[in-house]
Structure 1
Amino acid sequence: MWETSGYLGLFASAFGAATLLPLQSEAVLVALLLAKQHPALALLLVATLGNVAGSVVNWVLGRYLEHWQGKRWFPVSPERLAKVQGTYHRYGRWSLLLSWAPVIGDPLTVVAGLMREPMWSFLLIVTLAKATRYAVLCAVTLGWG
């Protein structure tokens, strides 16, 4: 049971952390690594998969965000939206390499959907960024290298 629940908990925390929810998957990953009940590579893959899946949800939300722009409850002003779109247009898809970063990473994945970033390039870059972040965390936690 611990085996399955550890992976499910890590996936859920990584998924949630990639959305706009204020969750931390790193603490869950470190705890599981230190417990030494699961192979580190398996934990790395589960965390990456969950985090990328959450980013895909953000991309989908961004893809359809403008549909609601005229509504009173829309959370972003037209000026702010134009500024964000301009910044993404300036730096392009490579800004997604920062999708792992706290505070800016999750909104970047929403903007990528808004800017109609193709799913293939989105997945490639976001997976690279997030897997690298988790790999570094594994390496530091387990003293690799």
Structure 2
Amino acid sequence: METWILPLLQTLALPEVGLTTVFVVALLSATLLPMGSEPAVFGLVQLNPELFWPAVLVATAGNTIGGAISWAMGYGAHAALDRARGSPTHLRALAWLERFGPKACLLSWLPAVGDPLCAVAGWLKFPFWPCVAYMAIGKFGRYVVMTAGLLWLLPGDGLARWLG
């Protein structure tokens, strides 16, 4: 495995494919994998400030597609989640989600609950495209705020000073 993963990681680390790396990391982090994509976006923008908007847009696209994958996983996992039906927590969450419908996917940017929320939206068979649109709005807002905030907190070589 090491023979192919090292060259792949080295390729993805090249500046000319930095946006590809941001896309892949953002996509994977929006599935149920426990990782964040903000450091990849921030790192790329810190090294290439002119890529702020392209990085935000690429991360938003990757993260939204990852959210759509989570939605599809939830849609397909309906039978597995059926076992939890009837518990008080399930009933409260279900009532809340049904009250807001696809608009609940605006919260897909939240850590820990955002990605499972996309899966639950699919499980509840909320309409796919409205869910994806609300996911994209929420995720775009997160990337703009997080990246701009980090650039403001750690301007220039601030990241290098902070890390080392």
Q: Do the structures match in fold with TM over 0.5?
A: yes
Match of 2:68 in 1: 56
- Any gaps of 5 or more consecutive residues in structure 2? 1-10, 153-164
Answer yes or no: is the 8 Å Cα contact 1:11–1:50 preserved in 2: yes
Q: With a CA cutoff of 8 Å and minimum separation of 6, indicate the structure with the bigger relative contact order.
A: 1
Residues 1:104 and 2:113 are matched in the alignment = yes
Higher helix proportion, which one? 2
Larger radius of gyration: 2
- Please state whether the residue corresponding to 1:39 is helix, strand or coil: helix
Q: Give per-residue Cα distances to partners, 1:10-68, cap 9 Å, x unaligned.
A: 11111111111111100111111111176211111110011001101111011121234
Match of 1:91 in 2: 100
Counterpart Cα distance in 1 of 2:15 and 2:61: 17
Sequence identity percentage: 30
Match of 1:121 in 2: 130
TM-score (norm 1): 0.83
Q: How large is the Cα RMSD of the aligned pairs?
A: 2.1
- Please state whether the residue corresponding to 2:73 is helix, strand or coil: helix
- Any gaps of 5 or more consecutive residues in structure 1? 71-75
TM-score (norm 2): 0.75
- Please state whether the residue corresponding to 1:16 is helix, strand or coil: helix
Answer yes or no: is the 8 Å Cα contact 1:99–1:106 preserved in 2: yes
- Total equivalences in the alignment: 138
Q: How far is 1:100 from its partner?
A: 0.3
